[in-house]
Amino acid sequence: MPDSHPQASDQSGTPVPAAVPAVPGPGDRGRRIRPAQLIFEPEGKEPEPERFFDLESIADPAELLSRSTELTLAFRAAAERATDFQAIAAAQLADPRRFDALSPEQIAERAEWTPDYALKMVEYGRTLQRRGPEE
Give residue 78's pLDDT: 95
In this structure, is residue 91 part of a structural domain? yes
pLDDT under 50 in the chain at which residues? 135
Tally of CA atoms within 13 A in the half-sphere of 37 that contains its CB: 1
In this structure, is residue 15 part of a structural domain? no
CB 108 within 8 A of CB 72: no
CB 122 within 8 A of CB 92: no
Selection from 116, 97, 95 nearest residue 105 by Cα: 116
In this structure, is residue 49 part of a structural domain? no
Domain span at residue 86 reads: 60-131
CB 33 within 8 A of CB 21: yes
Q: For residue 65, give the amino acid letter.
A: L
To the nearest 10 degrees (0 to 180), the angle between helices 104-111 and 115-131 is 100
pTM tops 0.85: no
- Split into its structural domains, the chain has a count of 1
In this structure, is residue 8 part of a structural domain? no
Give residue 93's pLDDT: 96
3-state secondary structure of 15: strand
In this structure, is residue 12 part of a structural domain? no
